[in-house]
Amino acid sequence: MRRRAVSTGFAALVLVLAAGGCQREERQTRLDPPIAAALDGVALMPDRISGAPPAVYVALGKPYERNAFNLAEGKRLYGWFGCAACHGEGEGGKGPAFLDGWWAYGPSMVSIVSSIRDGRPHGMPPFRDKMTTEQIWQLAGYVQTIGAYSAKTAAPGRSDAKQRRPAENRAPAALLFDPGPTPLHPDQGPEP
């Protein structure tokens, strides 16, 4: 009787935690080539703003938004591929800022992936030949996190080096968001 109750409780605990922690911490250092190819199949709207992610991405449980390891990898790729040269630590420069919560092409993963992969007008180069699909998704997830409106549980940790902006796990965009004098475009604000 007691044993059964204990084991039921234990099973319930496992289930609760499994639901919360599912694949949050899995670390895959190398994606299977078929999955990587499938991830490449982003269905974009004709204006290349927003669209549908490939089915496999949803089936995997959106690992590039929810898995801290992938986000941390994205953060490293951000440094290695020289994103900071134009975008700074997210505050922008030659390129647009991510920290202010304004997204020229919308905040969806699909748009960000497309921006990185295919490039955008006014200077954003395509990284299609320089990065693997997996890396593009990791980087996109990190970029989305920089401009997050609400704090995320899965976020890369703050860097040990001195920083000029709030850490990624603290919803920097919500802290720094400035809607400006004009009303929001549906795709550009914290509350569409």
Partner 1 sequence: MRRVQRAVALALAVGLAGCSGWQSALDPHGTDAARLAGLMWFVMATCAAVWVLVVLTLAPALWRRRAPRPDPLALDAPRERRMRAVIAGAVGATVVVISVFTLTSFVTTRGLGVTGSDEPTIRVRGRQWWWEVEYLDRDPARAFKTANEIHVPVGRPVRLRLEGDDVIHSFWVPSLAGKQDMIPGRTNELVIRAERPGLYRGQCAEFCGIQHAHMAFLVVAEDEVAYARWLEIQRSDAAPPSGPEQEAGRAAFLSRQCAACHTVRGTPAAGTTGPDLTHVGSRRTIGAGLLDTTRGAMAAWIADPQTLKPGNNMPLVPLDADALRDISAYLVGLE
Partner 2 sequence: MTQDHDAGTRDHQVDRTMLEARLAKTWRTDPGLWGALATVDHKIIGRRYIVTAFVFLALGGVLAMLMRLQLAGPEARIIGPDRYNQIFTMHGTTMMFLFAVPVMEAVAVYLVPLMIGTRNIAFPRLNAFSYWMFLFGGLLLWVAFALDMGPDVGWFAYVPLSGPQFSAGKRADIWAQMITFTEVAALAVAVEIVVTVFKQRAPGMSLDRVPLFVWAMLVTSFLVIIAMPAVMVASTMLILDRLVGTHFFNPAEGGDVLLWQHLFWFFGHPEVYIIFLPAVGMVSTMVATFARRPVFGYLALVMAMVATGILAFGLWVHHMFVTGLPRLGESFFTASSMAIAVPAGIQIFCWIATLWSGTPRFATPLLWVVAFIVTFVIGGLTGVMVASVPFDTQVHDTYFVVAHFHYVLIGGAVFPLLGAVTYWFPKFTGRMMSERLGTWSFWLIVVGFNLTFFPMHILGFQGMPRRIYTYQPDLPWHGLNLFVSLCAVMLVAGFVLFAVNVVRSLRCGVPAGDNPWDAPTLEWATSSPPPPYNFAHIPVVGGSNPLWESPEKLPVASGLCLDRRELIVSSVVEAQPEARESSPQNSVWPFFAAIATSVMLIGSIFTPWAVVWGAVPVFVTLVGWFWPKGTPEDAA
Residues of the shown chain interacting with partner 2 in the complex, contacts defined by CB under 8 A: 1-2, 5, 10, 13-14, 17-18, 21-27, 29, 67-69, 71-72, 151, 153-154, 156-162, 167, 169-170
Residues found near partner 1 in the complex (CB under 8 A): 27, 29-30, 76-77, 79-82, 129-132, 134-135, 160
Q: Identify the three-state secondary structure at position 124.
A: strand
Distance CA 127, CA 139 (A): 11
Q: Which is nearer to partner 2, 120 or 170 (CB)?
A: 170
- DSSP notation for 132-157: -HHHHHHHHHHHHHHT-SS--SS-PP
Min CB(13)–partner 1 separation in Å: 29
What angle do the packed helices 133-146 and 109-118 form, to 10 degrees? 120
Q: Is the dihedral of CA 102, 104, 108, 114 positive or negative?
A: negative
- Give the one entry of partner 1, partner 2, none that residue 154 binds, where binding means its C-beta sits below a cut-off of 5 to 8 angstroms depending on kind: partner 2
- Shortest Å distance, C-beta 23 to partner 2: 8
Q: Smallest distance from the beta carbon of 96 to partner 1, in angstroms?
A: 22
Residue 52 interacting partner from partner 2, partner 1, none (CB closer than 5 to 8 Å by kind): none
Nearer to partner 1, 102 or 127 (CB): 127
> Choosing among partner 2, partner 1, none, which partner's interface includes residue 12 (Cβ < 5 to 8 Å by kind)?
none
DSSP 8-state symbol, 121: T
DSSP code string of 59-111: HTT-HHHH-HHHHHHHHHHHHHTTTHHHHTTTT-SSSPPSTTS--TT-S-HHH
| Phi, psi dihedral angles at 120 (to 5 degrees) | -140, 160
Considering the complex, state which of residue 1 and residue 161 has its C-beta at the smaller distance from partner 1. 161
Shorter beta-carbon distance to partner 2: residue 163 or 192: 163
